[in-house]
Amino acid sequence: MNFNQLNGATSENRGFQLQENRPPPYAPQQEIYPSLPQATPSYVAFAPKPVNTHQTTATAVPQNTAEKKGIKRCPWKRILCASICVALVLVVLTLLLWYFLYYQCALGKSCRYSGKCLRSSQWCDGVRDCAHGEDESQCCKNIEIPSVLDTQTVHLLCLAKWYSLHFTVRLHGSNFVLESFSSHNQSWVPVCGDRWDDNYGKAVCELMGYKRQDYVTYSRTNAGSLASRGFMKLKPESDHKLQIHLQLFYSPICKESSVGLRCMDCGESVASPSSRIVGGTEASNGVWPWQVSLQISGHICGGSIISPYWIVSAAHCFQKYSVPSMWTVYSGDISLFRMSWDGGNKIDKIISHEKYDSETNDNDIALLKLKTPLTFSRTVKPVCLPNVGMQYSDGHPAWITGWGALQPSGPLPDRLNQAEVTIYSREDCNKQAILNGAVTESMICAGKLNGGVDSCQGDSGGPLVVREADLWWLVGDTSWGIGCALKNKPGVYGNVTHFLDWIYWQMQND
């Protein structure tokens, strides 16, 4: 893992250390203004025709046609024409310059007053990146947002307003209750099963970023206390080919049960892990089918399968080597040696969180898009992304897996190892004697305060999972820690629940 010094302690979980030199992030800028040739007017002198001295009768000298008509030819017309041509060229160049320096940036967007160029993801993300704050000031214009709404709901409303993606559906709890945002009472409410079918289910899953071919099914489920807020129901004239949020209306009652929606067949394992924990034990094939090895001429980091195309890992794994073609994803076995027999899967795209901070390890998460989809099998399956409302309190058991070192600075094992850990509250982890305030909202803390069980170098990006409702859920990606398995120094993981909006947003945009 990638760790920084904290309170004078040196991190041992460094992830990987290859060459230190990096190419510059941007190529040198080319000259924008080409050197233009200047047109020079050409002046021609007209001489009178010589007089024939042999003629006895005087012959008139022919006059210039213009002069015969009383019009004097002036060079200012040529000057004016040349000036107009030069002006037109300058206008074209100015437009081209504006296009490349402003409009191209506007595809990402630029600050109105300073001209600072921002990525699209930096607009309406809750952080003022423009000096005058224009990147955040208009996000919720014309949207009435009561102060009682939580930050996540406000963020979703802003996204819907600015990006017109109608990001107004989500899944809640371990029974996958489908919720939609109701403008009637300004809250999230369950979707009623009246007139619902698989066609609507596929449309919603696709809206969230899943592929239609990965859709599993919908079910009738009990919304429990969520039903106290009312329901969103399909209109009688609704059509699954139209945008789903436009076809829902608020109703205080529902004849059918609520909709439970499975967009991906996830979280299933062929066997249970061993409960014997010392520092960790070797895993069996098929117990952790979502675990992958990310390699550059050997294992570097871990990752978790969430769909045939998508892998969740840690952003710090790709800071030095962010070129997708350098990496290969291996899956389907607990042995690195046996996996090397297969060609693996190449990565098409690496999406590190745009606000990842290498100093604090804040927002340490990345998504990998594969060039070709994984073929699911007994030993290759996705883990479930946690749904809204799934919170894991202090003391909840969890499991970590990886091919990381079994002791600080030790060699990497050939076989996948597993260990059971305990999730601790952020408040406890931030105590001075433990991690001294270094655990942010984007992180989750887990391990053993007595020491002896932890992730280590080479485990970076790998999964932290919990079991609930007979399914395995991805709650963290291995991020950082102080040493390996030290007393009062639990490991720190990216908080996947915190990143749900970001994950679905990236999947949708792709």
Positions marked catalytic: 316, 364, 460
Residues paired with residue 181 on neighbouring β-strands, in sequence order: 188
3-state secondary structure of 111: coil
Query: What DSSP state is assigned to residue 335?
Result: B
Provide the angle, in degrees to the nearest 10, between the axes of the packed helices 198-208 and 500-509.
100
Nearest-CA neighbor of 290 among 275, 273, 307, 271? 307
Phi, psi at 282, each rounded to 5° = -70, 140
* CA distance linking residue 265 with residue 306, whole number of Å: 10
Q: Give the 3-state secondary structure of 25-63.
A: CCCCCCCCCCCCCCCCCCCCCCCCCCCCCCCCCCCCCCC
CA-to-CA dists, residue 246 to 135, 142, 167, 218, angstroms: 28, 18, 12, 20
List the one residue out of 309, 402, 312 whose CA is nearest residue 351. 312
- DSSP per-residue string spanning 131-173: TT-HHHHTTTTT----TTS-HHHHHHHHHHHHH-----EEEET
Which residue shows structure tokens 């053993």?
Answer: 448
Both tokens assigned to 342: 């297969």
